[in-house]
């Protein structure tokens, strides 16, 4: 019996369903029980409360495998737990809904998002925009757009693709730096559970795992809190290096919540050095003014 922990949202259940289908494809005789894990602490307002609830049930042996949206998982590994597999990544980018591009929006248009990173990058590109909070599941957010509460909204392309929704709403691609891990799933187990590790390990997609390693290393190196708009995106290119080994490029964006100041940079190297490259990017961003931005962002949130 493999007990798989997941959040209860429509998107989380769909993501976990894909993982369970993949596990059954590997072993049709495997008995799998999905377990919906509710948030244990409603006072924590960010998505880490769902991650921590699943991690607590892993530690207490109530589940054997946790399925997370990787962008919700803090950059520092939790003692006793390991991310042992990262299935193939889906679209990591943000999608603009309601217009084909930012340029198509009228002056002072209202754009909905509750992501500090998205709001900061929107304001850095279009300071005239009015950013308004947007919460709820994807269906609720789309309905508020079609009801006219916003001129446009920004959502993760991955969620739309995994649920197969968006309908006839006008869409446009945004050249924003995504959140670390956006579009990735992180499959987490107890570090001493070699049996589950052996079952889940084959689901990992090498390039996607390297990308996530680089992004989490950059996030960890910046020590950014939930008050700091941060985007990190790594891309593995197959056989791009002269020696025939995979190359990874890691791009980062760090700014103030109001978009008035930001730094960005990118580094490239061998994919086998993804962790080091992530930390190198963090160092470069900090030395280019990132430390001041990190401090100012905390002051603005106080």
Query: Where in the chain are the domains?
Result: 2-87+184-204, 94-173, 213-301
User: What pLDDT is recorded for position 164?
Assistant: 86
Residue-level length of the chain = 302
117 catalytic? Reply is: yes
71 catalytic? Reply is: yes
The residue-averaged pLDDT of 71-96 equals: 94
CA-to-CA distance for 28 and 139, rounded, in angstroms? 33
The residue-averaged pLDDT of 180-202 equals: 97
More confident residue, 20 or 136: 20
Measure Cα distances from 25 to 16, 22, 127, 163 in Å. Answer: 14, 5, 49, 21
210 catalytic? Reply is: no
User: What pLDDT is recorded for position 23?
Assistant: 98
- Strands 94-97 and 152-156, by their bridges, are antiparallel
24 catalytic? Reply is: no
CA-to-CA distance for 212 and 248, rounded, in angstroms? 11
| Sequence-distant (≥ 6) Cβ neighbours of residue 287 within 8 angstroms | none
Q: What is the pTM of this model?
A: 0.92
Question: Strand 130-132's sheet: what is its strand order?
Answer: 130-132, 110-112, 152-156, 94-97, 171-173
The residue-averaged pLDDT of 143-171 equals: 90
Residue 7 has pLDDT above 60, yes or no: yes
Fold (CATH) for 94-173: D-Maltodextrin-Binding Protein; domain 2 (3.40.190)
Q: Which of 64, 72, 193, 265 is catalytic?
A: 72
Q: Which of 135, 143, 173, 245 is catalytic?
A: 135
- Give residue-wise pLDDT tens across range 230-272: 999 999 987 544 555 889 999 999 999 999 999 999 999 999 9
Residue whose entry in the numeric block shows the structure tokens 């992530």? 278
CA-to-CA distance for 68 and 8, rounded, in angstroms? 12
The residue-averaged pLDDT of 281-299 equals: 96
CA-to-CA distance for 291 and 220, rounded, in angstroms? 14
User: What pLDDT is recorded for position 41?
Assistant: 55
Q: Which of 3, 71, 162, 190 is catalytic?
A: 71
Q: Which of 117, 162, 210, 286 is catalytic?
A: 117
The residue-averaged pLDDT of 273-278 equals: 97
118 catalytic? Reply is: yes
Q: Which of 3, 89, 141, 216 is catalytic?
A: 141
CA-to-CA distance for 142 and 150, rounded, in angstroms? 10
DSSP state of 41: -
β partners of residue 182: none
| Sequence-distant (≥ 6) Cβ neighbours of residue 237 within 8 angstroms | 246, 247, 248, 249
CATH number attached to the domain at 2-87+184-204: 3.40.190.10
User: What pLDDT is recorded for position 70?
Assistant: 96
Measure Cα distances from 205 to 37, 183, 208 in Å. Answer: 26, 13, 5
Q: Which of 89, 118, 162, 210 is catalytic?
A: 118
Measure Cα distances from 242 to 29, 200, 249, 273, 276 in Å. Answer: 44, 33, 15, 16, 20
Quick one: pLDDT band at residue 38, thresholds 50, 70, 90? Answer: confident
Q: Among residues of the chain, what percentage have pLDDT more than 70?
A: 94
Quick one: pLDDT band at residue 40, thresholds 50, 70, 90? Answer: low
One fold for 2-87+184-204 and 213-301? no
User: What pLDDT is recorded for position 145?
Assistant: 95
135 catalytic? Reply is: yes
User: What pLDDT is recorded for position 302?
Assistant: 78
| Sequence-distant (≥ 6) Cβ neighbours of residue 122 within 8 angstroms | 102, 111, 113, 129, 131, 154, 259
Residue 98 has pLDDT above 50, yes or no: yes
Query: CATH second-level architecture of 213-301?
Result: 2-Layer Sandwich (3.30)
49 catalytic? Reply is: no
The residue-averaged pLDDT of 136-150 equals: 93
Quick one: pLDDT band at residue 46, thresholds 50, 70, 90? Answer: low
């Amino acid at each position: 019996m493999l007990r798989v922990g997941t959040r209860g949202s429509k998107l989380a259940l769909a993501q976990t369903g894909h993982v369970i289908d993949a596990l059954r494809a590997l072993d049709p005789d495997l008995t799998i029980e999905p377990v919906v894990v509710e948030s244990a602490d409603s006072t924590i307002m960010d998505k880490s409360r769902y991650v921590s609830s699943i991690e607590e049930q892993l530690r207490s042996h109530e589940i054997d495998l946790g399925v997370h949206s990787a962008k919700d998982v803090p950059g520092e590994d939790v003692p006793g737990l390991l991310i042992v597999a990262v299935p193939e990544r889906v679209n990591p980018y943000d999608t603009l809904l309601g217009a084909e591009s930012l340029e198509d929006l009228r002056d002072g248009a209202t754009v909905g998002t509750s992501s500090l990173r998205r709001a900061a990058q929107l304001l850095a590109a279009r300071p005239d925009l009015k950013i308004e909070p947007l919460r709820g599941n994807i269906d609720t957010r789309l309905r508020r757009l079609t009801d006219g509460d916003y001129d446009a909204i920004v959502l993760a392309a991955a969620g739309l693709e995994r649920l197969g929704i968006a309908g006839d709403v006008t869409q446009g691609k945004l050249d924003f730096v995504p959140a670390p891990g956006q579009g990735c799933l992180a499959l987490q187990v107890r570090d001493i559970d070699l049996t589950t590790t052996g079952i889940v390990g084959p689901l990992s997609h090498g390039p996607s795992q390297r990308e996530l390693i680089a992004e989490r290393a950059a996030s960890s190196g910046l020590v950014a809190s939930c008050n700091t708009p941060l985007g990190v995106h790594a891309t593995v290119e197959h056989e791009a290096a002269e020696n025939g080994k995979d190359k990874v490029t890691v791009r980062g964006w760090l700014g103030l919540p109001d978009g008035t100041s930001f730094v960005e940079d990118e580094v490239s190297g061998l994919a086998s050095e993804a962790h080091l490259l992530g930390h190198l990017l963090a160092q470069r961003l900090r030395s280019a003014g990132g430390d001041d931005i990190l401090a100012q962002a905390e002051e603005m949130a106080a």
